Amino acid sequence: MNSEKKLPSAISYLREELQYLRQRPLSKQKKAKTHQFSKPVASFSKPDRLKSGMGTEITLIFRSRACSWAGSASGGCTMCGYWNDRAEGDITADHYWQQFTSTIEKFKSQLEDVNQKIVFKMFTSGSFCDPKELDEKLQLKILQKLTEFPSIKEIVIESRPEFLTSDLLTKYRQIISEQYLEIGIGIESSSDYIRANIINKGFNWKQVIKAVERVHTHNFGVKAYLLFKPPFLSEYTALMDLFQSIRDCVQLGVDTISINPTNIQQNTICSVLASQNQFRSPWFYSLFWIIKHAISQKELEHTRLLCDPSAAGKERGIHNFYSHHPSNSEAIDILQRFVEHQELSIIPEIINDKESLVNYNRYRTEILYKWS
């Protein structure tokens, strides 16, 4: 990538720091995990927005060997702490299958209820489609099992674009005929410069375009994950980057856009900067401005916009003035109602109480003039 050629020393330093963070000891976590290969990191159910309306989400987070990009010499992405949850040791396909079947058994009554509308989500803390993480035969076996449940209307997996080959997608299509499969791609930003030099993602926009076209050719959906406020960016710069990224993804024709406000995860560049008061997760006010202005109501008819922030309202996640401030709980409620109804009218220009109004005006002035 051209951006990497311009700043080889900066890229090198960033990757050295990422490799150091990946190697930091996590002894307590390791001891807790080595005998739990057959158990997922988490599995849960909650209400969620499907393409056809509200339904139920069943989510499985595999305990896996984690992202091959994070485990490479690159050190992975600057904001990602999922490497912390990796399985230490020789985890096998049988372990993954046990994690999957235990989740199926846990939610058996919901899955067997034909009146349910379920989206089944599977996350590997990496790429579901990467054969180094999940053997291809296992991928197909898992998808085949999910097709047995009429209650499952949607299936969601994630992958880096390089693993979305025509050969693999053809095999997926031979299995999945009734359900809607959506593949999430961590695009993060439509800017090659930010993706390469700030996030260290390791692929470019041209690869994204080709992957989206390939997935759509096989009649599957694409979910674009966009990162709101990577490290090293001011709030205003991050806000403008997210605005442009949403516009580019709408033009690209992705089926779903999921905004992920950066939350501060352990052993990441973000956590290092936050410990030195050099990074803060974004404000709800900024997120609302983006939703209100980056997409139209008509575009929402064919491009679903989601946002389910981790640690919302807390110090390490998206929040307004401070943790437990009343505007945070109000903002979370507004965001949830927007995701459910996909109506821009739900999003206010600002939260209309006197303290929030005064502070927001001061904050908005800072980001628009001081930091621009």
Residues 29-53 pLDDT 10s: 555 455 578 999 999 999 999 988 8
- Rounded to whole angstroms, the Cα distance separating 62 from 106 reads 15
Residues 184-224 have pLDDT tens digits of: 999 999 999 999 999 999 999 999 999 999 999 999 999 99
What's the mean pLDDT in 282-293? 93
The pLDDT, as a whole number, for residue 7 is 47
* pLDDT confidence tier of residue 323, bands split at 50, 70 and 90: low
What span, in angstroms and rounded, lies between the C-alpha atoms of 44 and 41? Answer: 10
Average pLDDT of the segment spanning 114-136? 95
Q: What is the mean pLDDT of residues 173-193?
A: 97
User: Looking at per-residue confidence, does 229 or 328 come out higher?
Assistant: 229
pLDDT computed for residue 267 by the predictor: 86
User: What pLDDT score does 34 carry?
Assistant: 54
179, two tokens? 């359900």
Q: Is residue 79 predicted with pLDDT exceeding 80?
A: yes
Q: Are 154 and 147 in contact (CB under 8 A)?
A: no
pLDDT at residue 24 in the model: 62
pLDDT over 50 at 74, yes or no: yes
What local confidence, expressed as pLDDT, does residue 73 receive?
85
Q: What is the pLDDT of residue 4?
A: 43
* Exposure b/e, 199-220, CB count within 10 A at least 16 = b: bbbbbbbebbeebbebbeebeb
Span 15-24, average pLDDT: 74
Rounded Cα distance, 226 and 339, in Å: 16
Winning range, highest mean pLDDT, from 48-52, 155-159, 325-329, 344-348: 155-159
State the pLDDT at residue 288.
94
Mean of the per-residue pLDDT values for the chain?
Answer: 88
Burial environment of residue 32 by CB neighbours within 10 A (0 to 12, 13 to 18, 19 or more): exposed
Give 131's Cβ-side CA count (13 Å radius). 7
Q: Are strands 53-61 and 42-50 parallel, antiparallel or unpaired?
A: antiparallel
Give yes or no for a contact between 120 and 152, defined as CB atoms under 8 angstroms apart: yes
- What is the per-residue pLDDT for 360? 52
- CA–CA separation, 204 vs 192, rounded Å? 6
Mean pLDDT of the 21-36 span: 56
Cα separation, 41 vs 113, in Å, equals: 26
Q: Of the spans 142-156, 320-334, 349-363, which averages the highest pLDDT?
A: 142-156
Higher pLDDT pick, 196 / 21: 196
pLDDT at 129 over 60: yes
Class of domain 2-278: alpha beta
Residue 187 vs residues 192, 201, 205: alpha-carbon distances, Å: 10, 8, 8
Among 47-56, 228-237, 332-341, 344-353, name the one with the lowest average pLDDT: 344-353
Q: What is the pTM of this model?
A: 0.88
HEC string for 255-318: CEEEEEECCCCCCCHHHHHHHCCCCCCCCHHHHHHHHHHHCCCCHHHCCEEECCCCCCCCCCCC
Judged against a pLDDT cut of 80, whether residue 25 lies above it is answered with no
| Inter-residue contact 282 to 235 (CB < 8 Å) | yes
Cα-based distances in Å from 290 to 176, 198, 237, 240, 367:
35, 21, 12, 9, 14
Q: What is the pLDDT of residue 82?
A: 79
Residues 169-198 have a mean pLDDT of: 97
Percent of the chain exceeding pLDDT 90 equals: 69
- Which residue has better confidence, 31 or 96? 96
- Look at residue 20 in the predicted model and tell me its pLDDT: 72
